[in-house]
Structure 1
Amino acid sequence: MADVTALQRLIYHHPIIDNHAHNILKADSASNYADYPFESITSEAQGEALEHHAPKSLAHIRAINQLAELFGCAPEVEAIKSARDKEVKNDYDGLVRKCLEGTHMLLIDDGLAADGVEPYSWHDTFAKAPSKRLLRIETLAVELILRLVQRVKKSQDDLLTEEEQNVAFSNLWTSFRYFFSTTIDEALDDPAIVGFKSVICYRTGLDIQTFSTQEVAASFVTYFRTLLKTGKSRIEEKAINDTLLLTVLERLSKRRDETGSSKPIQFHTGLGDSDIGLLRSNPAHLQNLIEKYSNVDFVLLHSSYPYTREAGYLASVYANAYLDIGEVFPMTSRDAQISILRQSLELVPGTKLLWSTDGHYHPETFWLANKQFRQALDALFTKYVDKGDYTPAQAMETVQNIMFSNSNRLYNLNQSADIPSLSSSQSQSHTSSLDLFDPVSASSAEEAFKKFLAKKPHVEYIWMQWVDYTATVRVRMFPVSEFAKILSSKRKVGICLAVLNMLQTDLTVPPDPKCSGQFILFPDISSLCRNVGLPSKSATVMTFWKDDNGGELEGCPRTTLQNIVSKCQKEFNVKMLVGFEIEVVFMKAVKKENASTSYSPWLTNHSWSNMTSETVQALPMLERIAQELEEIGIRLEQFHSESSPGQFELILPPYSPLASADALIKTRQTITNIAAQYGLRATLHPRPYSSAAGTAAHTHISINPPELEDQFLAGMLHHLPSILPFTFPQEASYKRVVEGIWSGGVWVAWGYQNRETPIRKVSPGHWEIKSVDGLANPYLAVAAIVGAGYLGLRNNMPLEIKGCDVDPATLSPSGRSALSITTRMPSSLEESLHALESNEELQDLMGKNFVARYIGVRRGEREMLNAMGEEERRNWLIARY
């Protein structure tokens, strides 16, 4: 299922905001296992419980097995320590960077006392954005108190009686509390501090009470005397802890009342070491406080485990309560993590869950937490989608909220997620990918090519391909040694500009076919892929068109698509995936007495999604196609018989738009090559049989975030007639613009899961564009569709056409008018060309000179085809498409 693949891509590649973490050890402390036991990566235990028993826990054993993958060593603690010690010594920064891969920002509680850690600002270079601080209020209180100690010690000898000392210490409490409140206010003004943190759970529990001034002063006197006598600074007195916490809440509430904004406060809840009182760590104790301070945002940390459901209740019924789902990764087993995540979702809205690693000391704690969290998301959300609890788009939105958006909003971080391209090699085991090399890790095209040849030593020739305006795939073939020269810029591949006006027959048409000048083929090494399905020691690379100076050439189909997609991302932070459904009809070629070729049905006992006694004959070929594509990383999501005789549908996974069009071309070529070996012609003709269903290239487009779907859809609908010259580029295409054949209908309309509208909404931000066929250049088709959506975004276009749940053709004029369905689809190529000629906005976006040339090619092609008889024209198209 294409959308599940997109969901998994999002899970494994979307950057995260880690809303609660701690400082990482300095390099010279990273291997100090005596002070910072390595076993603590998966356990809060201490002493004998940590040393002798924690390593036998399932959570620890799983972590060791995963760390063995990270370090490339045996899954044994000592082997891992040995391997990591070498990395710590040789390249500690590299290890930290590897462990924080995928982290956009860290929110660091730097109040966890330790001498061997780096300051919070040190972490800035390892994440996408600089780190922010979480101010731990108990640590702050002790720091402020210790500043007073020296002054008090100096004056202590002058105090004659214990009563006088009590008065002095009580007055000191009053001064300290004022100093504390002022410091909290300063922190509220400090942009480096984005929130507060309390560990009162460790001190005196979450059952917060109100104490009188006299009670607090008396507790402070007792505490201060002990501090002066023993040096023990930790505040254990409940009256002091509770009062300090309430002071912070009052300051946060007051700031919200005065300015309309404040900062959240995090509470350690649930899971902790043996220093914690487990019963007092239940977040249910905070209910009255959450209710009283309704304008203060409470973050319940660490999944509140084992009180996840109690925390979930609070986060579900109080607008100001949020649940963090950290620390249980990697502290608990896989099953426990999935269960905790499932419990979190039982009641809590997807907008109230936050992700954190609680990573601390050892950088591997971050790596394990993020890895295991993404695995749990995959296991749970794909199952929810499979069961229909979420649509894929709803699941993707929820995952993105948990990983990034909720923290971004709650802490007012104003960050934008820099989502990496989810094409080919980055997908790895979680996605479909074109098989060659990892472009991210290749330092140059030349190195990437060498890496490819090392993996595929049998490849001796490289085909440089481009798709012209008639959707004809053109190719130049080079020995690998010559292609290496092209990559190193020692050789240029120039193509005469006249081909921009060329038809399939190699004749040129107006306007202005140039007999001089050239454009340069520039290989896109990320598309390099070996050829399968034919006896050839070759590989294919797609190309961009450049001018003689290396600049962009207007009208290059791949550049046009890439530029429009980039505009969506840069101007509106909209990213997208595209997936294609390939419909193809397998036919038999029949030689006539006059030596011409006609085409007849291969299978006649054939129907939709049915394996008839004849359809079974196609299985060996279909399975071979699937296997050959699998070998180059294009993993079909499904394939099945369609309605027309000998017609099948093969569904490709989603990729980035450019990679998706590349995969479509490669898949079609593979299908054609293999079909020929079975003596068959695979055709994309839009309607080879007038009495049967047509053949399309349904195009799925999903945008992220989906919140902008109305403007994007409005743009697609508004410009749809002008899009058709790129998606329905020949007169034969309009044989599918017919009522009642489930090909998209005859009205510009959309509907949720409606097959009789040209645009079918599948889920939020995800549409199927039905008005695309196999005669179209896929780069230009997608560029026009996305370009129309972009114009809708740019113009903030309202969605005036309402969703239609029936065939619009069956509605009365007033019924269509009520839905604002007023425009008929063009019923001929000339109608759609006229629409494009009058659409200045779309022409400007795609390039006016290019559009004029493109229109000329299409009119010249139509004139050539109209000179043929109907049967000759049908056979001519089947032979070429």
Structure 2
Amino acid sequence: MVHTHLYSGGVRWKIGPRGALIEALAQAERRHGLTLRLGFEHEFLLLRPNPNPSSDDKWVPIDQTSYCASQAWHQQVGVLDAIVNAVEALGQEVEQCHAEAAPGQFEIVTHHMPAMEAVDALVMCRETICAVAATHGLKATFIPKFFANEAGNGSHMHFSLWANGCNIFSEGVVESAGLPRTAAQFVAGVLHHLPALMAVTTPSTNSYRRLQPGTWSGAFQVWGMDNREAPLRGAFSPDGSTATNFELKAMDATANPYLAAAALIYAGLDGIDMARVLPEPVEMDPHLLESAPRLPTSPEEAYRCLQHSDHAIIRQGLGEGLVRAVLATGRSAASFFSERTFAEEVKILVERL
């Protein structure tokens, strides 16, 4: 449901997620003259009914192909063409559609848009993918971790900063880590607050099954220029001289995307306000570095980070009432799933994501 919660007098509800993003975007423009554009990578599984009536598994992957396999497209061209056409009919530009690494896994990448439009479009894109799959007798699911030992599904958020119609990631004098000063400070703020951001970008028990070392999901608090193991990745030109956007990989479909985008903005604005310094990029597997700090490994760890005084600016931005709601619902869900096996968890979530 895409709407802003309002009281009868037209005042925004203080714990409405879309309203939180409206306020965050307003602060970015008011305080620093900045607007944001976002683009998303939509990773999902296509499942078919299990032909084995004696199996406990209701759904099985539609194929067993691997990353970017052409036969995956050839075999599923009917449903994939229908999905792409339906998403583009919504006014969204599809940049890529290809097979991902896990069985039955695909990815659609949509072009960047102004932040609020992009998040609204994300919601509609997911709904469309699921609806089109259903008309083909299939189940589309965005569950972060369906297979215990295969790649999971992320909802990677690409963000860029704009001022006076220019992308400040690629315009201006490069001063720090290959970026203009304001851009570097914004990214430094996101990196600094990333453990707390994960309370809203990867809020579920299932999220942390995906966020493991060596799985291209980003398990350590580092950034890289083209490092698939970094949760923050800069999209730089081949010679490394300019960037166009940054990718946050530590995000999935269990997140409320409005809250995730709002929290990211507050983290970045804090980076500018505090003149935070972006460290040197990590261009190797951070799992091999003794000094690379591990990101939270459970929802509770992320919730505690959000509550820590070092990340108070995120709570202040979102509002204490909204944060209390996030923590209460998140901890309730974590408690529920703590009493269930991974197989039970998957059966529940695959019908909801």
- TM-score of the alignment, normalized to the shorter chain, above 0.5: yes
Q: Tell me the CA shift for residue 867 of structure 1.
A: 2.8
Q: Tell me the CA shift for residue 591 of structure 1.
A: 8.5
Is residue 297 of structure 2 the alignment partner of residue 830 of structure 1?
no
Alpha-carbon spacing, 1:547–1:594, altered in 2? closer, same or farther (3 Å):
farther
The percent of aligned pairs where both chains have the same amino acid is: 29
**Alignment size in residue pairs:** 329
Partner of 1:733: 207
Q: Give secondary structure in 2 for the equivalent of 1:685.
A: coil
Partner of 1:608: 67
- Residue 623 of structure 1, aligned match among 63, 78, 81: 81
Aligned-partner Cα distance in 2 for 1:758–1:650: 19
Partner of 1:860: 332
- Residue 556 of structure 1, aligned match among 16, 21, 43: 16
Partner of 1:675: 133
Contact 1:700 1:766 in 2 (8 A): yes
Contact 1:634 1:663 in 2 (8 A): yes
1:196-245 Cα offsets, whole Å, 9 max, x none, are xxxxxxxxxxxxxxxxxxxxxxxxxxxxxxxxxxxxxxxxxxxxxxxxxx
Aligned residue type for 2:284: V
Alpha-carbon spacing, 1:803–1:699, altered in 2? closer, same or farther (3 Å):
same
Aligned-partner Cα distance in 2 for 1:790–1:666: 28
Alignment of 1:642-661 (within 5 A): 642-661=100-119
More helix by share: 1
Is residue 280 of structure 2 the alignment partner of residue 807 of structure 1?
no
Partner of 1:772: 251
Q: Tell me the CA shift for residue 615 of structure 1.
A: 4.5
- Residue 317 of structure 2, aligned match among 845, 851, 861: 845
Partner of 1:571: 31
Contact 1:634 1:652 in 2 (8 A): yes
Q: Tell me the CA shift for residue 599 of structure 1.
A: 2.1
Aligned-partner Cα distance in 2 for 1:731–1:826: 11
Aligned residue type for 1:662: D
Partner of 2:233: 760
1:705-752 Cα offsets, whole Å, 9 max, x none, are 2331111011101100000011111011011221111111x2100011
1:71-111 Cα offsets, whole Å, 9 max, x none, are xxxxxxxxxxxxxxxxxxxxxxxxxxxxxxxxxxxxxxxxx
CA RMSD of aligned residues (A): 1.8
Alignment of 1:112-131 (within 5 A): none
Q: Give secondary structure in 2 for the equivalent of 1:652.
A: strand
Alignment of 1:59-98 (within 5 A): none
Is residue 241 of structure 2 the alignment partner of residue 782 of structure 1?
no
Aligned residue type for 1:731: T
Is residue 165 of structure 2 the alignment partner of residue 686 of structure 1?
no
Contact 1:599 1:875 in 2 (8 A): no
Partner of 1:599: 59
Q: Give secondary structure in 1 for the equivalent of 2:25.
A: helix
Partner of 2:348: 876
Q: Which has the higher contact order (CA 8 A, sep 6+)?
A: 2
Alpha-carbon spacing, 1:618–1:679, altered in 2? closer, same or farther (3 Å):
same
Q: Which has the larger radius of gyration?
A: 1
Partner of 2:175: none
Q: Tell me the CA shift for residue 631 of structure 1.
A: 2.1
Aligned-partner Cα distance in 1 for 2:90–2:148: 36
Aligned-partner Cα distance in 2 for 1:652–1:667: 9
1:621-662 Cα offsets, whole Å, 9 max, x none, are 111111122222122111111110011110111111111011
What are the ranges of 5 or more consecutive residues in structure 1 without an aligned counterpart?
1-464, 466-541
Partner of 1:792: 271
Aligned-partner Cα distance in 1 for 2:54–2:22: 47
Aligned residue type for 2:307: E
Aligned-partner Cα distance in 1 for 2:99–2:107: 6
Runs of 4+ in 1 over 4 A off after TM superposition: 591-597
Partner of 2:90: 632
* TM-score, structure 2 as length reference: 0.89
- Residue 198 of structure 2, aligned match among 724, 729, 733: 724
Aligned residue type for 2:345: R
Contact 1:726 1:780 in 2 (8 A): yes
Aligned residue type for 2:6: K
* TM-score, structure 1 as length reference: 0.36
Alpha-carbon spacing, 1:592–1:550, altered in 2? closer, same or farther (3 Å):
farther
More strand by share: 2
Aligned-partner Cα distance in 2 for 1:554–1:630: 33
Aligned-partner Cα distance in 1 for 2:95–2:277: 35
Contact 1:640 1:649 in 2 (8 A): yes
Alpha-carbon spacing, 1:756–1:844, altered in 2? closer, same or farther (3 Å):
same
Per mean C-alpha deviation after superposition, the further-off stretch among 564-573 and 641-650 is 564-573
Q: Give secondary structure in 1 for the equivalent of 2:197.
A: helix
Aligned-partner Cα distance in 1 for 2:153–2:307: 27
Q: Give secondary structure in 1 for the equivalent of 2:111.
A: coil
Aligned residue type for 1:880: R
Is residue 227 of structure 2 the alignment partner of residue 750 of structure 1?
no
Contact 1:603 1:615 in 2 (8 A): no
